[in-house]
Structure 1
């Protein structure tokens, strides 16, 4: 039972992260994006010069990633074609990022970006589990 619940929570977390990253009407996407930028800034430890070159490229990159995800959702594309498009965007921007950063930092960026998604999913899952536990306690107390 715990495994099923954990899988369900994880699946919902992935959905929430995807919607949040794509930017929803409530503004949660911008809040998560701000957290992501702070996380990446800390992980990459960019110099002022690197940051001035990197962030405009990053903004273009994220714009293409968002557009691809939104288009895929609207067109009800399959997961494999969507992931292939996202990979092609990452390959394209790998070259662009290499113009602003060392190849080591570009690699660190892609790792940190993936790591952020994992950290975010874990945090969402922990919060959801805490809310469920609080509801159980409230129900038991009534």
Structure 2
């Protein structure tokens, strides 16, 4: 039953998720909330989190993902806004350096939050988490592609 609810939430959120990437960061909070609710339901179901685990897991995990998003946002901004006072080659070198710094910060962040999460959920569930996230993204992408194909046929 949990799996059915998770999939239903995902299907409801997918049309909104497809538009989400085109939206400014703070626009349409309803879209973000529905996608987040589907994500929470899917991950909770796939990791088989108990209510007690979920209650402790989600605040820590949200904080982690918010910090990770901020790191990636920094890199995206640098890619989109090269320094006009530097040569194209120097901007590219700077991006390589920044990319490596962001990756290192991501690893450090993951290490820090993994320690916190291990106090809340078993190591097996934590180890499964990246794969569950990947499956959620793939599921949404597949649904988006199917909807686009459906629109193209019309």
- What is the rounded CA distance, in whole Å, between the counterparts of 2:99 and 2:106 in structure 1? 10
More displaced, 68-77 or 117-126?
68-77
Structure with a larger share of its residues in helix? 1
Q: Give the deviation of 1:87 after TM superposition.
A: 4.0
Task: List per-residue Cα deviations over 1:66-107 (Å, max 9, x = no partner).
Answer: 212222222225695345543443333222211111000111
Q: The residue matched to 1:70 in structure 2 has which SS?
A: helix
TM-score scaled by structure 2? 0.64
Structure 1 length normalisation: TM-score? 0.68
Structure 1 gap ranges (5+): 1-15, 135-142
**Structure 2: distance between partners of 1:64 and 1:73:** 14
TM-superposition CA deviations, 1:24-73 (whole Å, max 9, x none) = 51333332222111101111121122112211111111111221222222
- RMSD over aligned Cα, in angstroms? 2.7
Q: Distance in 1 between matches of 2:45 and 2:65?
A: 18
Which structure 1 residue ranges, 4+ long, deviate > 6 Å from structure 2? none
Match of 2:5 in 1: none
Per-residue displacement from partner, 1:110-130 (whole Å, max 9, x unpaired)? 221111111111111111111
Q: Is 1:32 aligned with 2:14?
A: no
- Which ranges in structure 2 are unaligned for 5 or more consecutive residues? 1-17, 80-94
CA distance in 1, matches of 2:53, 2:69: 24
Aligned residue pair count: 118
